[in-house]
Structure 1
Amino acid sequence: MKTFKVLGGGCRNCEVTAEAIAHAAAEAGVEIALEKVTDMAEILGYGVMSTPAVVLDGTVVHAGGVPASEQIRDWVSG
């Protein structure tokens, strides 16, 4: 099972990113763990300076905006 973390302060773009990841996983029939991280110390611990950011299995794979749908599908199915 893949583990996703959406890093951000809870802004609309962070919510959209988390919803898009959950939707892509449901469409693909893939079980994932999805966590929203709003603690700034934890976010900065990943070296992220702009949110939303996405962490996949412990590695930052995106930062600074809502990722493209194709990119999300690749993360979920890859």
Structure 2
Amino acid sequence: MKIEILGTGCKKCKKLEENAKEAVQSLGVEATVEKVEDMKTIMEYGVMSTPGLVIDGVVKSTGKVLKAEDIKKFL
């Protein structure tokens, strides 16, 4: 599983990345969590509001910091 956090490195983006890693660790699933800061790549996903959460190429959330418990539901 590939999890991407879309954002330019702001505080909210970093928090979403932490929460995603926590969710993965908590569930014990095989997944990589990758930070994507390239605006062109972010725009290719159609994300206009960061942070964005992408799981296996599918945008699951934009513009908000999901808690680890919320991310678990997508995993």
Same fold (TM over 0.5): yes
Equivalent position of 1:67 in the other structure = 66
Q: How many residues align?
A: 75
List runs of 5+ in structure 2 lacking aligned partners: none
Equivalent position of 1:27 in the other structure = 26
1:71, CA displacement in angstroms?
1.9
**TM-score normalized with structure 2 length:** 0.92
Which stretch shifts more, 62-71 or 30-39? Answer: 62-71
Instruction: Give % identity.
Output: 41
SS of residue matched to 1:34: strand
Alignment check: 8 A CA contact 2:16 2:65 kept: yes
CA shift digits 1:1-39 (9 cap, x unpaired):
x11000000001101101101111111111211110000
List runs of 5+ in structure 1 lacking aligned partners: none
Equivalent position of 1:16 in the other structure = 15
1:68, CA displacement in angstroms?
3.4
The letter of the residue matching 1:34 is V
**TM-score normalized with structure 1 length:** 0.89
The letter of the residue matching 1:37 is V
1:69, CA displacement in angstroms?
3.3
RMSD: 1.0
